[in-house]
Structure 1
Amino acid sequence: MTNLPELPSVMVDDAVRAALQEDLGRAGDITTLATIPANATARVVIASRETGVVSGMPLARSAFAAISPNISFETEIDDGGRVEPGSAVARIEGRARDVLSAERVALNYLGHMSGIATATAQFADKIAHTQAKVVCTRKTTPGLRAFEKYAVRCGGGANHRFGLDDAILIKDNHIAVVGSVVSTIEAARKYIGHLVKIEIEVDTLDQLAEALTAKPDVVLLDNMDAATLKEAVAMVTKINPATKTEASGGIKLDTIAKKAEAGVDYISTGWITHSSPVLDLGLDTIIE
């Protein structure tokens, strides 16, 4: 997959080590230690049980490497690759105790992130015939935002802001406190540097018209039906075509296409990160 971002190894390794420490606890993998001979070896394959998109391979690799540098980890499907039931994702070989002790952490990351990538791909496929791009939100699992947003990219989506500090997003509560749409945008513009974008959420066409007089970089068109979105896009094109449009609110697989066909540039959904089901991946021992 082209233009796929890379996860910094220090970020990956720190997260994986914390997860392994949580899992191994104070005494290690006592089931494996009690039942598996110290000199036993294992050859295993991580395989998909269903159709999906892979994400999280760097974390899976790191989990096995953290347990033992002597484990061989061979990738069969790179992040962003699509799999069918029975597809081999990776092949692992090493001391059996080490392989089994790393298994769950590796699969937890792979399953969760691949689930997000798969859900994102389903949404992206629905709107592939339009100019719109699926983007995620800040509705992520605490501590996992960077990985979940990476998974969105693996599924063909794009990232919204990563936190409260990298872009201005003016919402209804900000406007309510300040008193007006234009005043809120002007206050934001005076505060930020020249590289920071300003987006404002609007619920009605009247609010949109007011916001466009202050020329925001992006308008978030919240909870608008497809017909209203089409009117909103036409208004933006006429008044300030440089402003990008983003649809949000109640985005579902059976509604996203009509909203995209209204002509918006982006469609944001929190569902892909906070509610997507895990992709079913399993580790199977190769018996010869």
Structure 2
Amino acid sequence: MDFSHLLPPTWKKHVALWLEDDIPSYDVGGFVVGESEHVAFLLGKSEGIVAGVPFFNAVFEAVDCKVEWNLAEGSLIEPSKVASGKVVVAKVTGKVRNILLGERTALNILTRASGIATQAHAAVKAARDLGWQGHVAGTRKTTPGFRVVEKYALLVAGASTHRHDLSQMVMLKDNHVWASGSITNAVKKAKVAAGFSMKIEVECRKLEEAIEAANAGADIVMLDNFEPAQLKETAAKLKNQFPHLIIEASGGITSATMGQYLSPDVDVISQGKLTQGYSCLDFSLKIQKSEGILKQ
């Protein structure tokens, strides 16, 4: 599925800023190599899911290079092929100076987006293998200036983005409740501004708080930092009383522990680690010359 059509019209401004950050002044290396036309191969060097294609493309488009992909976004780089050293993911064509202008910025984006997608895909697969069909979601724990990439990578992986930003959904956490005086006060005030088009979620630490949130009109309750057995018991009681209430489990859940929290009464399991604790995939870009590979 092509998720690039979801990107807002302003997203390419990030590309210009990323390039400016990496190349604020003279490019002496580019002066050295000149402007002859060359081809560079993007090599996949570790197992995982390819993600971040539109951003990689945009970086090279900005420096007047063309990218052709051998692997579609969302494809798996298989371990056996990595071991053989033959995973050519894409080809970049352009002036050698321009290829090297975009190289590091494009690779930095691709390695991170693919790392997120790989970890998130594994989490979704683990849930599905156990028969759970709810949403495995990221959180708003994203890197400032890089959110659009990290949220995009979750979609490529088949995970849910949760809320994209502070404006997308109302989430009332402990600080909102304490400042408002009660869960009921916080939800009622939020509903005045949110209207009918925005869901309201409340972070709850015990069953009584969740019942108060549901009675006040919350659409979603987050059961935060519950032990697995306590979570399942609480979720079952809530679903029995409020069948249409969306129940989210969160707080310290990882892909390794997620199986303990799965329940037919839990609709969403969110993990901050999906965008805050991922390993980057390993890619390299090698320029092909008649006598072989020019190493970077």
Q: TM-score, normalised by structure 2?
A: 0.89
Aligned pair count?
Answer: 282
- Measured in 2, the distance between the counterparts of 1:26 and 1:265 equals 50
- Measured in 2, the distance between the counterparts of 1:248 and 1:188 equals 22
The equivalent residue for 1:136 is 138
The equivalent residue for 1:256 is 258
1:190 to partner: Cα distance: 2.6
- Measured in 1, the distance between the counterparts of 2:34 and 2:152 equals 38
- Measured in 1, the distance between the counterparts of 2:254 and 2:112 equals 20
The equivalent residue for 1:74 is 68
Residue in structure 2 matching 1:57, options 29, 42, 53 = 53
Q: Deviations over 1:228-284 (max 9, x none)?
A: 111122112211111101110001122111212363111111111122121111112
The equivalent residue for 2:182 is 180
Paired residue secondary structure (1:77) = coil
Structural mapping, 1:231-270, within 5 Å: 231-261=233-263, 263-270=265-272
Q: Is the 8 A contact 2:74 2:157 kept in 1?
A: yes
- Measured in 1, the distance between the counterparts of 2:208 and 2:280 equals 41
- Measured in 1, the distance between the counterparts of 2:236 and 2:217 equals 15
Runs (4+) of structure 1 exceeding 6 A deviation are: none
- Measured in 2, the distance between the counterparts of 1:280 and 1:165 equals 34
1:189 to partner: Cα distance: 1.8
Gaps of at least 5 residues in structure 2 are 291-296
Q: Is the 8 A contact 1:121 1:156 kept in 2?
A: yes
The equivalent residue for 2:200 is 198
Q: Structure 2 counterpart of 1:110, which letter?
A: L
Question: For structure 1, which segment, 249-258 or 79-88, has the greater mean C-alpha deviation from structure 2 after superposition?
Answer: 79-88
Residue in structure 1 matching 2:151, options 144, 149, 152 = 149
- Measured in 1, the distance between the counterparts of 2:288 and 2:74 equals 26
Q: Is the 8 A contact 2:38 2:289 kept in 1?
A: no
Residue in structure 2 matching 1:47, options 43, 48, 55 = 43
- Measured in 2, the distance between the counterparts of 1:244 and 1:52 equals 32
1:100 and 2:100 aligned: yes
Aligned-residue sequence identity (percent) comes to 32
- Measured in 1, the distance between the counterparts of 2:9 and 2:208 equals 48
The equivalent residue for 1:38 is 35
- C-alpha change, 1:131 and 1:46, in structure 2 (3 Å) is same
Q: Structure 2 counterpart of 1:4, which letter?
A: F
The equivalent residue for 2:288 is 286
- Measured in 2, the distance between the counterparts of 1:18 and 1:94 equals 22
Gaps of at least 5 residues in structure 1 are none
Paired residue secondary structure (1:237) = helix
The equivalent residue for 2:91 is 91
Q: Deviations over 1:36-60 (max 9, x none)?
A: 2433x32221121111111111111
Q: Structure 1 counterpart of 2:49, which letter?
A: V
Question: For structure 1, which segment, 80-89 or 94-103, has the greater mean C-alpha deviation from structure 2 after superposition?
Answer: 80-89
- C-alpha change, 1:9 and 1:197, in structure 2 (3 Å) is closer
Q: Is the 8 A contact 1:215 1:243 kept in 2?
A: no
The equivalent residue for 2:216 is 214
Q: Deviations over 1:164-187 (max 9, x none)?
A: 222111111111222222232222
- Measured in 2, the distance between the counterparts of 1:31 and 1:201 equals 52
Q: TM-score, normalised by structure 1?
A: 0.91
Q: Is the 8 A contact 1:131 1:264 kept in 2?
A: no
Q: Structure 1 counterpart of 2:91, which letter?
A: R
- C-alpha change, 1:220 and 1:61, in structure 2 (3 Å) is same
- Measured in 2, the distance between the counterparts of 1:209 and 1:72 equals 56
1:123 to partner: Cα distance: 1.2
1:7 to partner: Cα distance: 4.8
1:3 to partner: Cα distance: 6.6
